[in-house]
Structure 1
């Protein structure tokens, strides 16, 4: 799997499907985020420890800049820390910045990847998907248990086990043709595994669209969301 830094820090490349997905996300407070039904959380956006709408909006803008303009993790952290410290907050430590940056960008990347994988022509030529975990000391046991498992592309397993399946998850899904499955002697699974994704990561963000209750949101955020929806719908 390509490293996130390679995917999103090239100034000459924008992963359009990923950017399109991220633009649909709505900044919400952590309290609202965890009140949302789990299957819709993929299109909400929050950062633990921050509750003010303008703070969440700045996080959102900096992450979007990473995808659209190729800003690096270091640039993200520096820009956020300058803003946070000016507002009287402590800056992000390296681990916190890395967690926020990688989890959100990996989610957007995998949603964009899903949109490509589910193209009808691709589905016809490559009707099987294989879960691919990174086999090293940082891989979680539940994710490692899924590594190499093959399911039909239209299996409901992908409603639950489509990466990221946890904070800083590095897993991905690969497409396979029928010939590849046969040549490699791979088993096509038909039953759900006993293991489960990490808490709050058991849904496929590419398959749902979040419709928030905006009545308690600041007016600028409501207008921004409404304008974005109009753009998405071509109104």
Structure 2
């Protein structure tokens, strides 16, 4: 068997490459460059020194690779900015008009630079991941609560091919604070849910400032000048922007976890093994706050927060000798990242101290999958973590019998916590 080196520990390399590949050019204002050009140009408004621009570009790339938060990046970059005269009160001259402006470079402006550039790079990686998947369709998903915009609500459930031009202007987010998402679906998943491709294409609903697919390479940066102004002046918009960026942080984690699992599966299913210890385990999720709270109510306080899987576990799950009725397919194994994140149907096994995450089978409507997670398990050669013990199936008609089992005291063994 060959040894295969993977790169999936919090380093989605295509995002970093995108940051690094953007050509540094001098621009006083963002509206000087067309949307298509932004995909190839890295620029920070009001900076007119190309060496400083390159320094910031390099620092942002390193920050992303290291998983730094804004406060860490700011601490690292501030001495350099001060040395080059771009921190605090700064006079900048428009090279085209000769007009000089006095600006203040502090936490607010640096945060805008950091968040905006991270955001567009993450968005590109997220969109590319969806486009590279085997799924053929996008389904618009709105949050159907009292805060949803009426025109966004109308799009909920809209299904179109992911290559449809509609997504060029309406791929969410479509406004400030927009919480809408796009779900990627295969033909089989459409049939399984009883959904159909929409016959009519609705009018564009994106706000004028958001009428661009920020995930597409030719539309990356049309989110800057006017939005930055609004954040400065309107606290409500600032809160919306921060909320959106918080969502993007979660998206980045989900992306990294999914890519890591996908990479590991690709290697193992090809018949190879991963010999480098550092890459034999990949994180695929974490214990959600509500899950931890429910466990605390049971008197359980896990030391570890992350959920991981070991390569040998995947080999065990997919081994040829396993009955086909209990063997999840590759798509069902990949699905655990989203399953752990949503954590909809979770039970605690009081006898074994495990968590059981149940989720719908992607192969038929007669079985249900579940992932067994050992809490604070010490896997040989590795630190304490919440490790997946197995992923298996059970017929629907046996599920209730399983969950209704009781111990010697007559108490249920499996306690639903979510």
TM over 0.5: yes
Determine whether 1:52 maps to 2:62: no
Aligned counterpart, 1:175 = 184
- Identify the residue that residue 68 of structure 2 maps to in structure 1: 71
Q: Equivalent residue of 1:61, what SS?
A: helix
Alignment of 1:1-235 (within 5 A): 12-31=9-28, 33-91=30-88, 92-119=105-132, 122-123=133-134, 126-131=135-140, 149-162=158-171, 173-181=182-190, 183=193, 185=195, 188=198, 190-199=200-209, 202-203=212-213, 206-208=216-218
Greater strand content: 2
The structure having more radius of gyration, on CA atoms, is: 2
**82-91 or 185-194, which deviates more:** 185-194
Q: Where does structure 1 lack aligned partners over 5 or more consecutive residues?
A: 1-10, 211-235
Distance of 2:123 and 2:215 partners within structure 1? 9
Structure 2: 5+ residue runs without aligned partners? 1-7, 89-104, 221-418
2:141–2:183 contact (8 Å) kept in structure 1: yes
Over aligned residue pairs, what C-alpha RMSD do you find?
Answer: 3.9
Q: Kindly provide the CA deviation profile for residues 42-92 of structure 1, in whole angstroms up to 9, marking residues without a partner as x.
A: 222222232221222122111101222222211111223222222223355
Distance in 2 (CA, whole Å) between partners of 1:83 and 1:136 is: 46
Residue 35 (structure 1) shift: 3.0
Question: Normalized per residue, which structure has more helix?
Answer: 1
Q: Distance in 2 between matches of 1:52 and 1:152?
A: 44
Change (3 A) 1:147 1:105: farther
Distance (whole Å) between structure 1 residues aligned to residue 40 and residue 83 of structure 2: 29
Q: Deviations over 1:128-163 (max 9, x none)?
A: 113456789999998777665432111112333346
Contact 1:103 1:164 in 2 (8 A): no
Alignment partner, residue 220 of structure 1: none
Higher relative contact order (CA 8 A, sep 6+): 1
Normalising by the residue count of structure 2, what TM-score does the alignment of the two structures yield?
0.39
Aligned residues: 196
